[in-house]
Amino acid sequence: MAKKAYRVRNWNKYNEALVNRGSITFWFDEEAIKNWHKIEQQNKRGRPKKYSDLAITCGLTLKAIFKLPFRAVEGFITSLVKVLKLEIETPDYTLLCKRQKNLNISLQTRQLNPGEKLVILVDTSGLKVFGEGEWKVRQHGYVKHRLWRKLHLAINEKHQIESFELTELGIQDCEGFDLLIKNIDKEIDSAIGDGAYDRFRCYELAQKNNFKMIAPPQKNAATSYETRKKKKRVSQEALAKRDEAVMEVRKLGAKAWKEKIGYHRRSLAETAMFRIKTMIGNRLSTRLIANQRTETAIWCSALNKMTTLGMPNSVAI
C-alpha cells in the first residue's frame, strides 16, 4: 500500500510561527520583568530569596532553548538587561544551579470546553545523561559507563503535553503510565498507547479512573479464560475490557482493529517525542535526578509554548 501524501493548508501562518520560535522577546516578556524580584513572604529562618521562581525559570528556559552552560546563561541575561536598560539584576550561575532542584514548573495546556473529555496519547523514550557518542562506540566499543533516564509523555490531540515523568531506566512503561495519570487533573475519555501498555495494571487504572484504555494486544495474547497462569489481582471489569480487545483483534485482524479503534492517533505522541529531541536535545545536562526532572519540565513547558504559536494543518491528498 502506497504511503499517503499530505499537504499543509495553513503554510503562511505556520511559517510565521516557526520564525517566531526564534524570537528572544518571546522568552523575556513583560511579565518576567515585572515579577523578577517579586518574592512571596515565607515564615522561614534564613536569608530571604532575592529572585523569584519566575526569574530562575526564565534563565533555565534560555539555557535549554539555546543550549548554553550555566555561566553563559548569566552572561546572556546580563547582556539582555543592558540592551533593554532594565532595572533588574542578574542571578549568577551558581544560584541558577542551586534553585533548579526545588523549582516547581507547571505545564500550561488548553482548557477543555464544557462537556469535552480529554484523549491522551502516551509514549516513552530514553534521554542520555552521560556517556560516549554513538560514533566512538561503533568504531571502538564501550569504554565509559553510560547512564540513561526514561521520559514518559502524555499529550493531547492538539500536540500539547498534558503530563510528563522522568524515571530511572528500570521503570517499565506501564509503571510510568500510573505516574502520568496522577498528574492529570482533567476528565480523561481514553488513553492510547503501544503494546508496552497492554498490561493488566493499565486496564485496572483505566477502570478506576473511568476512561477507556486502547493498547494493541501482543501477538500471543490470551484471554483470561484461556491462560492457565495464576491471574493477577485485578477487577473483573478490567479483565473483560482486555479480553474484548483480544477477541476483536482475532476477529478483524490487527490492522483493521487499529483503523476501527482510532489507534493511529498515537503517532502524535511519537511526533512530540521527536520534536523534543530535535528542537531541544536528547541529552540531560544535569546530574542529580531532581535537577533532571526540573530540566525536563522546562523542556515540556517550552514546547507547549512553541505549539501555541501555530501548528500545521495537514490533510491527505
Higher pLDDT, 8 or 131: 8
pLDDT confidence tier of residue 212, bands split at 50, 70 and 90: very high
Q: What is the pLDDT averaged over residues 8-16?
A: 83
pLDDT score of 17 = 83
Which pairs count as long-range contacts for 234-240, CB under 8 Å and 24+ apart, including other chains? 234/200, 234/201, 234/203, 234/204, 235/204, 235/207, 237/207, 238/200, 238/203, 238/204, 238/206, 238/207, 239/200, 239/203
Q: What is the pLDDT averaged over residues 203-229?
A: 86
Model confidence pLDDT, tens digit, residues 18-32: 888 777 766 667 777
Tell me the β-bridge partners of 145: none
Is the Cβ–Cβ distance between 120 and 231 less than 8 Å?
A: no
The structure's pTM equals 0.84
Q: Where do the structural domains in the chain lie, given as residue ranges?
A: 6-104+285-316, 118-272
Residue 159 has pLDDT above 60, yes or no: yes
Q: d(Cα 191, Cα 121) in Å, to the nearest integer?
A: 6
Q: What is the pLDDT averaged over residues 89-101?
A: 92
For the domain bounded by 118-272, which CATH number is listed? 3.30.420
